[in-house]
C-alpha cells in the first residue's frame, strides 16, 4: 500500500471522513508552497492536492484559473514544483497528490515526469483531461512507480462507464458534484445524494466529493453520502485573504463528522 491507501485504511478504522484541500503551486511564489502544505497537515488535512498551473485549464473555474495565471507569472513550472516537493517530502507525512493536465506531462516527457514525481514523493496524480480510453499512456508506468492515478466520475457518467472507472486502480475515486467547472457554489442539485450513493455502490475504494464545496455545511452535507471531500476554490480564496481559521473550520467540519 502507498500512503494514500494507508491513510484511508486508518480513517476507516477511526470512522473518520477525509478532507483534501487543493492549492495552486506557485500562487504567491513557489517559496510559499512548503508553508501552505505544512500548515494544512498540522490543521488535519488528510492529503494535499497540488495544482500545476497550465495555460488552458479546462476543468478549472475562475478562482483556480486566476491562481494558475498568477503562478505562471511567477515562472512556476512542473519541473520546479517537483523540485520543491522533493525538499518538502522529508518533513511532511501526509499524501501529496499532483493535479495536472496531459500537455504538461507530455512536454516534460512521460518517463522523466514519473521518475521525478517518484523522487519527489508524489503519491497520486489527477489528470482530468485523460479519458480512460487513453490512460494506458501513463497508468501502467504510474502503477509500477507506486503512484496512484486518481480517476474521476461525474453526474453525467453513464452507469456502465461509472462501473468501469470505479473498478480501476486503488487510492480513491473522485466524484465530481456539479456539471461544469470548479468554483464556489451556494447550493447543489437535489439528486446529488442519490448520485453519491450510486458511486459508492459501484466502488470498492473510498469516494470523495469535489467541485463547488465551500462551507462547513457543504462539507457535512457531502460527508453523509461519501468518504470525504475535496475543496479547492474556497481554500485558494481563504489563503489569499489570510483567513487560516476559515480553512481550519472547513477541515474540522469533516474531521468531526462521524459515520452512522
* pTM, full prediction: 0.94
Residues 6+ apart with CB under 8 A from 23: 33, 36, 37, 40, 48, 49, 50, 51, 235, 236, 239
Tally of structural domains, the chain:
1
CATH of the domain at 225: 3.20.20.70
Indicate if the pLDDT at residue 114 is higher than 60: yes
CB 192 within 8 Å of CB 179: no
144 falls within a domain: yes
pLDDT, residue 190, reads 61
Asked whether residue 260 is domain-assigned, the answer is: no
Rounded CA-CA distance 138/126 in Å is 11
Contact between 247 and 37 (Cβ < 8 Å): no
| Cα-Cα-Cα-Cα dihedral sign, residues 243, 76, 228, 194 | positive
Please check whether residue 54 lies inside any domain of the structure.
yes
What is the DSSP track for 130-197?
--GGGGGGTHHHHHHTT-EEEEEE-TT--HHHHHHHHTS-SS-EEEE-SSS-----S---TTHHHHHH
Q: How far apart are the first and last CA of the chain?
A: 27
State the chain's mean pLDDT as an integer. 93
Helix or strand run (H / E) with residue 245:
helix 244-255
> Does the active-site annotation cover 31?
no
Looking at residue 260, its pLDDT comes to 45
Q: What are phi and psi of 128, to 5 degrees?
A: -65, -20
Domain assignment of residue 97, given as a range:
3-255
**pLDDT tens track for 120-179:** 999 999 999 999 999 999 999 999 999 999 999 999 999 999 999 999 999 999 999 976
Mapping DSSP to helix (H, G, I), strand (E, B) and coil, where does residue 140 land? Answer: helix
Task: Check residue 258 and give its pLDDT.
Answer: 59
Q: For residues 40 and 111, is the Cβ–Cβ distance under 8 A? A: no
Active-site residue identified among 16, 31, 56, 60? 60
Comparing CA positions, the residue from 185, 125, 132 lying closest to residue 158 is: 132
What is the model's pLDDT at position 185? 45
d(CA 107, CA 90): 28
Set 49, 74, 123, 148: catalytic member: 49
Is 49 noted as a catalytic residue in this protein? yes
What percentage of the chain has pLDDT greater than the value 90? 86
Of the chain, the percentage scoring pLDDT greater than 70 comes to 94
Report yes or no on 29 lying in a domain. Answer: yes
Cell of 96: 501529496
* Average of per-residue pLDDT across 186-215: 86
Model pLDDT for residues 26-63, shown as the tens digit of each residue: 999 999 999 999 999 999 999 999 999 999 887 788 89
Predicted pLDDT at 255:
86
Establish if 41 belongs to a structural domain: yes
The pLDDT, as a whole number, for residue 143 is 94
Amino acid at each position: 500500500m502507498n500512503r494514500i491507501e494507508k491513510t484511508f485504511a486508518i480513517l476507516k478504522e477511526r470512522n473518520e471522513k477525509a478532507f483534501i484541500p487543493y492549492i495552486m503551486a506557485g500562487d504567491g511564489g513557489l517559496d510559499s508552497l512548503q508553508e501552505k502544505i505544512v500548515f494544512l497537515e498540522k490543521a488535519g488535512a488528510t492529503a494535499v492536492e497540488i495544482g500545476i498551473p497550465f495555460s488552458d485549464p479546462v476543468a478549472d473555474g475562475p478562482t483556480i484559473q486566476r491562481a494558475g495565471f498568477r503562478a505562471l507569472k511567477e515562472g512556476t513550472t512542473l519541473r520546479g514544483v517537483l523540485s520543491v516537493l522533493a525538499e518538502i517530502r522529508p518533513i511532511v507525512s501526509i499524501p501529496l497528490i499532483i493535479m495536472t493536465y496531459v500537455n504538461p506531462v507530455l512536454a516534460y516527457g512521460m518517463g522523466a515526469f514519473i521518475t521525478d514525481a517518484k523522487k519527489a514523493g508524489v503519491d497520486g496524480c489527477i489528470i482530468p483531461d485523460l479519458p480512460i480510453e487513453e490512460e494506458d499512456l501513463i497508468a501502467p508506468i504510474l502503477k509500477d512507480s507506486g503512484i496512484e492515478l486518481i480517476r474521476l466520475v461525474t453526474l453525467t457518467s453513464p452507469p456502465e462507464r461509472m462501473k468501469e472507472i470505479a473498478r480501476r486502480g486503488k487510492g480513491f475515486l473522485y466524484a465530481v458534484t456539479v456539471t461544469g467547472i470548479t468554483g464556489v457554489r451556494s447550493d447543489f442539485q437535489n439528486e446529488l445524494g442519490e448520485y453519491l450513493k450510486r458511486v459508492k455502490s459501484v466502488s470498492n475504494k473510498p469516494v470523495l466529493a469535489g467541485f463547488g464545496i465551500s462551507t462547513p455545511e457543504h462539507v457535512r452535507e457531502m460527508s453523509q453520502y461519501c468518504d470525504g471531500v475535496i475543496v479547492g476554490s474556497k481554500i485558494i480564496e481563504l489563503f489569499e485573504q489570510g483567513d487560516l481559521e476559515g480553512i481550519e473550520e472547513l477541515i474540522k467540519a469533516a474531521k468531526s463528522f462521524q459515520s452512522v
